[in-house]
Amino acid sequence: MPHTSLNPATNKLLQTHASWDSHRLKQALEKTHHAQQAWAQTPFARRGEVLRNVAADLRTRRDQYAAIITQEMGKLLREARAEVEKCAGVCEYYAQHAEEFMRTEPVASDAGKSYVAHYPLGVLLAIMPWNFPFWQVFRAAAPALMAGNALALKHAPNVPQCALAIEAMFRECGLPDGVFTSLMIEVEQAAEAIASPHVHAVTLTGSEAAGRKVAALAGQHLKKCVLELGGSDPFIVLHDADMELAVDMAVASRFLNCGQSCIAAKRFIVVPQIADEFLSKFKTKVEALRLGDPMDDATQIGPMARADLRDTLHRQVADSIVQGAVAVTGCQPAEREGFFYQPSIMDRVTEKTCAWREELFGPVAIVIRATGEEDALRIANETRFGLGSSIWSRDTARAEQLAAHIQAGCTFINGMVKSDPRLPFGGIKASGYGRELSRLGILEFVNAKTVWVR
């Protein structure tokens, strides 16, 4: 099937791109393998120069790239601009720090001299999603390229224009031909790419189901992989929270990118003393969100990326209401052209509802009423996911104590969960394994080689 670019705000076809056959995939991976061998010998200074060129291009053509993102997957245009800026920042970060991160580490031993040196693995296959179609790619590409690896991108089939724009950008900014390539392949062909002798490691951002398949395939071929999968992040509001701040950040964290984010706050866990106040203020602000054209800067909620995603979300909402959840606001598709869903809140979500167990990937917040602080912590951990989490309390020392017991890759106190190039990013449990960003991220895909000299 062709890769189809469809505007989710209008349901209009933008472009189609033919899928590659196995022969073309094999040729592309061979070319990338040979290109990587030369790139690995390129000095850090030159690698950094290329990434700085890319950062400059991202900023110069920010609005052009943002428009592609918005038209192809429905993200608000201002959010798309911010995404492009963030990509420029991660390029500059690794251009500045990669050589330091990969510096040889002397280690005292029984040798006359011993040390750990870091060398690139080879070609990294990056299987990336549609929800942050630039950022997810750059989050993997910037450290991988600075480490001396090459990157073969298998992007989501509904964002082919983003994939090709990124490939063209790298080429125009001085990256040697083949070091970054976009593979126009079907989902089923990912197995063939993982099995290729020219692919040496895999990174995936995607669903739990996709992660299980990729992990199994990578394991079968003894290839390193990093998985960043789904999340059902708890947002714990304690009795002494700054209520205005908590509610403002609840809206921002849940409804950014139309709620289509792995690290969006999804489960709003509230203690009895403030539950009704929080819900009342939250409802008021959610109902004030303006739904409309994502190209209009006045719009606050755009469309979901695909019709099937909207339909799946509504099935989860409808099932949860039948199972006892209370519809506070929204909880219906919007009656207009495109794949819109009303910004929504469900209250009184319990273990009996599918919203308790499943990730809701869209503009729907669920409120869970805990009996107290310890119960809130129990609920936060009572999920198979473990990506992000946040705690809202004026007593930051107590919040830090609680944070130590939350089963997640990160906990933010009085702040919205986000990724930052300076900090490691990733999850535990069904949210995946391995880390992206920071020094840990670049070292995921290198050979840490011990050298011992008598």
Q: Active-site residue numbers? A: 228, 262
What is the chain's length?
454
SS3 206: coil
Q: How far apart are CA 236 and CA 312, in angstroms?
A: 26
206 and 260 Cβ atoms separated by less than 8 Å? no
Q: Where are the alpha helices (DSSP H) in 74-133?
A: 77-101
Could you tell me the two tokens for 133?
């179609």
- End-to-end alpha carbon distance in the chain: 59
CA distances from 280 to 82, 247, 274, 295, 345 (A): 30, 10, 10, 30, 11
Distance CA 279, CA 295 (A): 30
Alpha helices, H only, 221-274: 243-255
Question: Which of 419, 421, 76 minimizes the C-alpha distance to 262?
Answer: 419
Give me the DSSP letters along 223-280: -EEEEE----EEEEE-TTS-HHHHHHHHHHHHHGGGG--TTSEEEEEE-TTTHHHHHH
Tokens of 11: 């349901």
Neighbours of 383 (CB within 10 A): 23
Measured CA to CA in angstroms, residue 412 lies from 236, 244, 388, 417, 431 at distances of 10, 17, 8, 6, 17
